[in-house]
Each structure stands twice: as C-alpha cells, then as structure tokens.
C-alpha cells in the first residue's frame, strides 16, 4: 500500500495560515499599545513627568581639599583641620513650615527673620545658610526633613595652642583661605586644590547618584615652623606678666637661633584666641614684632660704635669727652642720665652715654653710618611673608643735619621693628655676620652676610657683656651660670611731632657670650609708673626667658661661678608647658 501525503499537506497548510493570522493580529495589537503609550506619555501625563524631572537635577559640587597641618619644629600641631559641614539651601525648592523655621533658626544660631531673609532674598538659587557647623549640628538639621536643604562636607581650622601662637599662625576665613600669619603667608602650600564632581540630587538635596568626577582634590602640604612651642609658651607667659605688671599698652618678644636665624618664639600682647574671633579689635590683631616700628633708643648705639671701630676712628679704650653729661648742638641739647666728664668707648656702651655716642657719630661720614644701618637690615622688611611687615625708616643720609646724625647714634630719628633689631644683633653674636631670619625650620647650614670684621664684632660683644655686669645698665638681665651680652633701650615715644612723657622700654641680648646660641629681644610699650627703663622693665623678661631656653636645650654654662644653675632636660621643661 502506498503512502498518500496529500490529506496531511492540506491540514498543514490550514494550520500555517491560522498561525499567520494570529501573529499578525498580535503585532497589530502591540503596535496599538505602543502608539497609545506614546500618546499617553506625550499628552495625557506631561505634567506628571515634568514634576518628576523637577525632583531630580544635576549639580557640580566641590570636594574640599584637606588643608595642611602647621607644626612646630618638634612636630607639635599648631593648626589642624577638623571635619565640618556647611548647610545650603536650594531656594526655589525649599518647603518649610513655621515649626521647622523656628527649629532651623535655633540650630543655625540666628533668628527667624534672618533665616527668612537668607531664603527670600539674593540673586542665586543656592545659598549658604551657615558655614562650618559641626557634623552633629548638621545631622540635627537634616533630621528636620526640610525639602531643599542639603549639607556640604568640608573642614574648618582649629588651633590647639590658642592665643599663645596666634600672631604666628594667624587664621583662615569661612572659605578656609588664610587671612593672617602663616595661614596667609603659606596659603599656596597649605591650601591644596579642591576637587569637583557632578552628581544627581533630589528635591531634598540628597545625592542619589554620582555622574562624573571632574577634578580630583589634592590635599595641602604640611608646614613645619622654626617655632619651638616650649619656648613660645614661656615667651608669651613672661611677656604677659611684664605687660600686666607695668600696666603697659603692649609688648613683644622674639627669640632667634643666632646660628641659623630661625625664629624660635614670637609673641605679642595684646593677643587673641584664633578659635574665637567674634569680638576682635585691630590692636589684638597687630603682630607688633613685625608690623610696628619704633625708635630703638640706646639699643642702636652698638652699631654706631662698631662703625667707628671698623673705620679705625676709635678703639675700645679711646677717651671720649662727655662734658658732664651735656652736649649742645645749635639750639638742641643732648643729656645723659649719668654725669661724667669723660668715658672710654667701652664705657659709652656700658653706661649708655648719649653724649659719648653722639660725639663718636659726628666723627663719622653720614654715608658710613647709613651704610651700617642698611647693611644691618634697617629700612628693609625681613620678608618672612607675613602681612604688614614693616621695614622701619632710615632717612637718606644726604638730608641729615648734624643734630639728626648725633641723635641717630643713640636711636632717635630712626625707626625699626623688634624683628629687625633681633636679626641685627646676630651680627655681634656671629663674629660680624648677619643671619637671615626664617619662620620655617631650617635644615642644613645657613649662609650669612659679613657686615663687620670679626675683630670689630668681638670688641663690641665684649662691651655688651659689660652692660650686664656691675656698673652697667642691665644688671637684671644676668642669667646665673652664663655670660650674657646685651643692650638696654629707653626711648621717648613720639606724639605728633614732639616727644612726650611716654616710653618704649627694650632689651636685646644673647648668650652664652663665649659661644652665642640665642638672641632675645624684648620690647614693652608705654609702661606706667616710675619704672620705665629698659633695664628695669625689659631686662628681667630676658633673664627669665634666656635662662629657661639655655637650660631647656642643655647648653653648658660658661660662667659657673656666677651662681647656682641647673640644666633642665627637655622632658623636664615640657612639664612646664
């Protein structure tokens, strides 16, 4: 029997036709659904999609760089960055009720009217409601669940040692940019570079998606200062005591490593707390050791004497007529507090004779004196990078009249800063070589500039030792166990165009005199009462501070017969801070 395929073929043909019709109907139905959905999306639900689009928006946000740490020479942190938050608002998206307003204003530390003003006024949609709030406060604010508010993470500066280092360290503003001190001077290094990324946020300000990294943040570099906090602490303490004791207007002190020019301490009174700057005055902000110039008085005499020695005009033993402590130049008279008919050049320094210094100055060419002053750094700012550094004032020598040349010999008619004076005395501590000042830690040898010959500088150093010995003006600058060299200064303050009855008391010195290691300059502005001489007001500050610095750093005594002494170890000294 043969197989007949025809009936089966007819059945398959009918089945395939049925399937084709079903498939066609399915495709037509799906097409209708798609067209309908498209019409629905474009027409019927346009407002819904627009609302959804407004709930999500793209925004570029900053990624704050972590600012560098400022440390003292031994690694003690003096300025650090602490995590903080800023609270921002998208004004057009803010949805807040009265209860939330009151709570938010309270957490921000402002009144409700000020909050409303921030939200209602201004040109920009995104506004800062408060910068640099603690993460805990920011968390409380976000828990209020106010639509349109969002936090921005960042950092704010904290100063662990507070007012003791305020004028050195300075501070930053709300944008974390340095405004004073090291924070200002080293902004480029400390600041780093902020990063940025594009994100998607919802209406409440929450980041719901990272879109793109635009720029990677680069943290700031740390800065290690020349400052030794242990010495800084002592310097500020002793200066504060002196200013308070003498009811003075202000005061400054600076400690310099005479071998390297590094500033180990720099303090001023009045001062401020960089962690709380709500009620600052201009007087508190002034870094007087660098920004204020004053007539240095007799602390300038060694430079006049050194010029005459260098040029061979005198020797330490040359007799200078002092005519009973009075000298007349035209209508002007120069006086000494000690009346002598004659003094050796060494005694002119020891007894601080204005008449003797004036007579020596008048034997010199004005240009030679001017060269000495400018070579010593007077008239030029130290260039440490601090805002407002002064160079003082040294008038052109061609304009000097004889009386002006005579009075400049003992520090009248010329103005300097305390930092300049401290640097200038490194000349006598370094066999005639001036060392540049540095506020950052120095690694390696420091090249100086020879101002006087070693012979001249050492002769002046011997005279400066006499100042601190019996018969000198600075007995109270003595340090038990050590030879000290230095010079007192008591200058009338200029009031308008005349000298009044107010004074600047100062002392500059170094020790140990046999091999100098440290220069300390102290200035007390306008001490009140009967005690106002540099030897009585500033010299005692030098004595206490220098003694502590020498012992703290284990410098061997060079005059053990002068009294009791005790070498304090670094760990012992640290307990005092």
Q: Tell me which residues are annotated as active site.
A: 298
- Cα–Cα distance, 206 to 426 (Å, whole number): 60
Between the CA of residue 61 and those of 57, 94, 132, 200, 218, what are the distances in Å?
Answer: 12, 19, 16, 10, 15
Omega cis (within 30) before 437 = no
Sign of CA dihedral 443, 444, 447, 448: positive
Q: Give the chain's length.
A: 577
Token pair for residue 189? 């290094």
Instruction: From 235, 217, 118, 231, select the one nearest 176 (Cα to Cα).
Output: 217
Look up residue 280 and give its DSSP letter: -
- Cα–Cα distance, 301 to 352 (Å, whole number): 8
Token pair for residue 138? 């920011």
- Cα–Cα distance, 471 to 351 (Å, whole number): 7
Count other C-beta atoms under 10 Å from residue 264's C-beta.
Answer: 25
Token pair for residue 573? 């000294």
Token pair for residue 446? 């420091």
Contacts of 256 (CB under 8 A, 6+ apart): 262, 263, 264, 422, 423, 426, 437, 518, 519, 520, 521
Look up residue 324 and give its DSSP letter: G
Residue 332, strand partner residues: 329
Contact between 283 and 250 (Cβ < 8 Å) = yes
Q: Where are the alpha helices (DSSP H) in 248-401?
A: 282-285, 288-291, 301-310, 345-350, 354-362, 366-375
């Amino acid at each position: 029997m043969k197989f007949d395929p025809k009936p089966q073929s007819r059945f398959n043909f009918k089945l395939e036709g049925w399937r084709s019709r079903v498939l066609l109907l399915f495709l037509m139905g799906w097409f209708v659904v798609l067209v309908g959905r498209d019409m629905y999306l474009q027409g019927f639900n346009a407002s819904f999609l627009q609302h959804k689009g407004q709930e999500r928006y793209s925004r570029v946000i900053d990624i704050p760089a972590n600012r560098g740490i400022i440390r003292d020479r031994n690694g003690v942190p003096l300025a650090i960055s602490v995590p903080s938050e800023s609270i921002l608002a998208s004004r057009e998206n803010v949805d807040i009720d009265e209860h939330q307003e009151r709570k938010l204003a309270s957490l921000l530390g402002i009144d409700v009217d000020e909050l409303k003003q921030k939200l209602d006024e201004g040109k920009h949609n995104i506004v800062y409601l408060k910068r640099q709030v603690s993460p805990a406060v920011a968390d409380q604010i976000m828990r209020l669940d106010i639509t349109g508010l969002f936090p921005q993470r960042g950092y704010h500066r904290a100063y662990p040692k507070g007012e003791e280092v305020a004028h050195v360290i300075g501070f930053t503003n709300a944008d974390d940019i340095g405004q004073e001190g090291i924070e200002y001077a080293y902004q480029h290094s400390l600041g780093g570079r902020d990063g940025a990324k594009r994100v998607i946020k919802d209406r409440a300000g929450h980041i719901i998606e990272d879109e793109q990294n635009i720029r990677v943040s680069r943290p700031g570099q740390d800065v290690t200062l020349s400052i030794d906090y242990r010495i800084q602490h002592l310097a500020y303490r002793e200066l504060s005591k002196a200013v308070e004791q003498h009811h003075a207007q202000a005061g400054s002190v600076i400690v310099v490593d005479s071998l390297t020019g590094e500033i180990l301490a720099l303090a001023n009174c009045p001062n401020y707390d960089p962690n709380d700057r709500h009620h600052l005055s201009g007087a508190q902000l002034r870094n007087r050791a660098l920004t204020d110039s004053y007539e240095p008085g007799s602390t300038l005499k060694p430079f006049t004497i050194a010029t005459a020695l260098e040029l061979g005009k005198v020797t330490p033993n040359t007799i200078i007529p002092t005519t009973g402590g009075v000298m007349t130049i035209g209508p002007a008279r120069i006086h000494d507090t000690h009346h002598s008919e004659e003094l050796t050049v060494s005694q002119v320094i020891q007894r601080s004779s204005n008449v003797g210094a004036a007579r020596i100055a008048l034997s010199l060419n004005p240009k030679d004196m001017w060269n000495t002053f400018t070579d010593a750094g007077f008239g030029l700012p130290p260039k440490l990078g601090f805002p407002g550094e002064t160079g003082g004032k040294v008038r052109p020598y061609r304009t000097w009249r004889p009386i002006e040349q005579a009075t400049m010999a003992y520090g009248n008619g010329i103005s300097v800063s305390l930092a300049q004076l401290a640097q200038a005395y490194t000349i006598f501590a370094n066999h005639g070589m001036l060392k540049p000042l540095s506020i950052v830690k120095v690694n390696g040898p420091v090249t100086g500039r020879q101002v006087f010959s070693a012979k001249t500088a050492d002769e002046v150093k011997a005279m400066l030792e006499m100042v601190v010995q019996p018969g000198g003006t600075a007995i109270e600058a003595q340090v038990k166990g050590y030879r000290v060299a230095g010079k007192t200064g008591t200058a009338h303050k200029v009031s308008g165009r005349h000298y009044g009855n107010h004074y600047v008391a100062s002392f500059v010195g170094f020790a140990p005199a046999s091999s100098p290691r440290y220069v300390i300059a102290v200035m007390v502005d306008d001490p009140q009462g009967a005690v106002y001489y540099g030897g009585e007001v500033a010299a005692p500050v030098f004595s206490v501070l220098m003694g502590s610095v020498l012992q703290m750093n284990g410098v061997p005594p060079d005059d053990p017969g002068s009294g009791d002494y005790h070498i304090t170890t670094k760990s012992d000294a640290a307990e005092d801070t």
